[in-house]
Chains A and B, each alone.
Chain A
């Protein structure tokens, strides 16, 4: 608590306890934000020990800066400081009487401090399951509407808003190149660094090239790209659409007979589908470069590294990596847009949607990646 400046004019308090529990109180001065706080505490301290039956407050020498002093008088008049006592306030001008009467006895008594509702565990579990099912239903409906809206955009590309797709590819793709490049390069470098010592025990340092080749193309390249896109672009999709929802722009589209999915979502998913494989390819190259740089420091000739990678990594691996990228792109674009469209009312809603989009995208990407690996383990002899 930061205290205000010291009161310039403290309110003078004259308290006269009389026989039979009668107390006369005269207040003199200006009740403003500073002096009221002092006066309130002082009165509370001095009136509380007295057994007051009737309290007579003379307010004729009071001046008010606003409603704060009036609140003090109401508290006094309701016996807040003298429970059970009969309180009379005199000396107020007619206007101030009127102002005092705006905050009535009923208002004073009706007020109850807010108590948070008791949480019942079965109710909470039920509500969570209900919300989960509702979310699932919305996801199915969303996937359905995207599936319906995508083919016409591809069959009749003239109706597609390519300008929007271009903007998305530029902001979510081209602008992400530096960060994805650095991220992939460092991951490739660290992978090689971590692999060096165990492989050196067997005199097999050359096989670091296999490690970085395989991992960059099949796993880290697509994963690094997906995580960066989810954090950078999926969240932006959710925030953009969420803000449009809060600003009633989505309602405006709907009432114009335009489907938000066809008008906004399809562009983002197509954009994500185009740029994710491209960015993944770039991440693969940067990851390999990171590992290669470390191997060069260890003295391996460039041609030896090149031949080792080419010999071990096949086109099939590249297709697996790019296939993953396509799936990740759909997940990131779809989840970002879905969370954006699900945005509720209020100023926190967009932030909530953005967070939900990032968490769900990354989780689904990891799950999809695991399914890819499991499927390949089963299929490959």
Chain B
């Protein structure tokens, strides 16, 4: 990884939720350029909600989200459009447009926002599909693909514009272990070769260890970040039973009772 220390996403005192219902409060963290930043937590802990606020899909209850030194929340329309083009998003369900072929889905941002020649758009879209292992499926409709293939096509669409930041919501869900490992490899390559920053919401410990440079864990009871560090640090050094139970695949903190807790 080539994280260079410069914060590309800066979250300040962010409180997120729906209406008056607070899910997470006073969240603060920074994502450095080029790093693979992972957000973990139990089901229902607010990981996806946090991600949706980071990408400006929902307005926060309070706080700020700065992307590349610009406040996404208060940005005017033009600035916001510019910021939105700096990142790609992979949604949990894939969210491919059902009325378009896979190729048209990947081409869509290139058609809308670039001046590339027609053939070039096809080639770029095809090369992205090749990267996610979907060669040959370019003329298929999304409904003709399996869930895992849809996810990979959506990943290709998220990467279409060579974004500087990729937000991935549960990228491994619905993928077989081999494809999932391939996706991890792709994340490492994109991060390594091009310095693309990743913000990933996931449960998959294998992925976290394989690609994660830094992890935060959010908790629904305290509604805060309860741990921050590298995956190995959280696994080996955290004294918090919630963190340990997550990273040691134990169903409850009680099951860790007999284990030695690091000082």
Contact = CB atoms under 8 A, between A and B. Distances in A.
A380 to B, nearest CB: 52
Interface centre among A33, A37, A114 (most CB of B within 10 A): A33
Contact of B192 (A66, A95, A110): A95
B101 A5 contact: no
Given A66-B196, A67-B159, A111-B122, A103 B115 contact: no
A44 interface: yes
A346 interface: yes
B124 A2 contact: no
B123 interface: yes
B99 A2 contact: no
A107 interface: yes
Interface stretch (B38-46, B135-143, B250-258): B135-143
A1 B121 CA distance: 13
Interface in B109-168: 111-117, 119-120, 122-124, 126-128, 130-131, 135-136, 138-139, 141-143, 159, 161-164
Contacts, number: 107
A67 B120 contact: no
A41 B117 contact: yes
Contact of A67 (B111, B127, B142): B127
Given A2-B113, A33-B161, A40-B117, A66 B190 contact: yes
A70 B164 CA distance: 16
Interface string A87-99: 0000000011001
B115 A348 contact: no
A74 B27 CA distance: 44
B103 interface: yes
Nearest to A64: B194
A102 B117 CA distance: 22
B180 to A, nearest CB: 18
A103 B127 contact: yes
B82 A70 contact: no
Interface centre among B98, B115, B117 (most CB of A within 10 A): B115
Contacts of A68: 116, 124, 161-162
A113 interface: yes
Contacts of B161: 33, 68
A368 interface: no
Interface in B213-227: none
A37 B127 contact: no
B85 interface: yes
B44 to A, nearest CB: 20
Q: Chain B binding site: helix, strand, loop or mixed by DSSP?
A: helix
A38 interface: yes
A65 B99 contact: no
A77 B183 CA distance: 27
A36 interface: yes
Interface residues of A, number: 40
A339 to B, nearest CB: 18
Contacts of B142: 346-347
B143 A347 contact: yes
Interface string A30-44: 001110111011001
Interface string A1-18: 111110000000000000
A71 interface: yes
Q: Chain A binding site: helix, strand, loop or mixed by DSSP?
A: helix
Contacts of A40: 116-117, 120
Interface centre among A1, A34, A80, A96 (most CB of B within 10 A): A1
A162 interface: no
Interface in A29-85: 32-34, 36-38, 40-41, 44, 64-68, 70-72, 74-75, 80
Nearest to B98: A347
A190 B159 CA distance: 59
B36 to A, nearest CB: 16
B26 interface: no
Contacts of B117: 37, 40-41, 44
B143 A67 contact: no
A71 B115 CA distance: 15
A74 B99 contact: no
A345 interface: yes
Nearest to B125: A71
Contact of B124 (A44, A67, A96): A67
B103 A95 contact: no
A64 B115 contact: no
A101 to B, nearest CB: 11
Contact of B193 (A41, A64, A345): A64
Contact of B141 (A2, A4, A107, A346): A346
Contact of A32 (B98, B139, B162, B192): B162
Contacts of A111: 122-123, 126, 138
Given A37-B116, A102-B131, A5 B82 contact: yes
Given A37-B115, A68-B162, A103-B131, 9 more contacts: A2-B113, A3-B115, A4-B115, A40-B120, A65-B164, A67-B131, A68-B124, A71-B124, A95-B192
8 tightest CB-CB pairs across the interface, nearest first? A66-B162, A346-B143, A347-B98, A103-B127, A37-B115, A71-B124, A65-B162, A37-B116
Interface of B: 82, 85, 98-99, 101, 103, 111-117, 119-120, 122-124, 126-128, 130-131, 135-136, 138-139, 141-143, 159, 161-164, 189-190, 192-194, 196
Interface of A: 1-5, 32-34, 36-38, 40-41, 44, 64-68, 70-72, 74-75, 80, 95-96, 99, 102-103, 107-108, 110-111, 113-114, 345-348
15 contacts: A1-B112, A4-B113, A5-B82, A33-B161, A37-B114, A37-B116, A40-B116, A40-B117, A65-B194, A67-B131, A70-B127, A74-B127, A95-B192, A99-B189, A347-B98
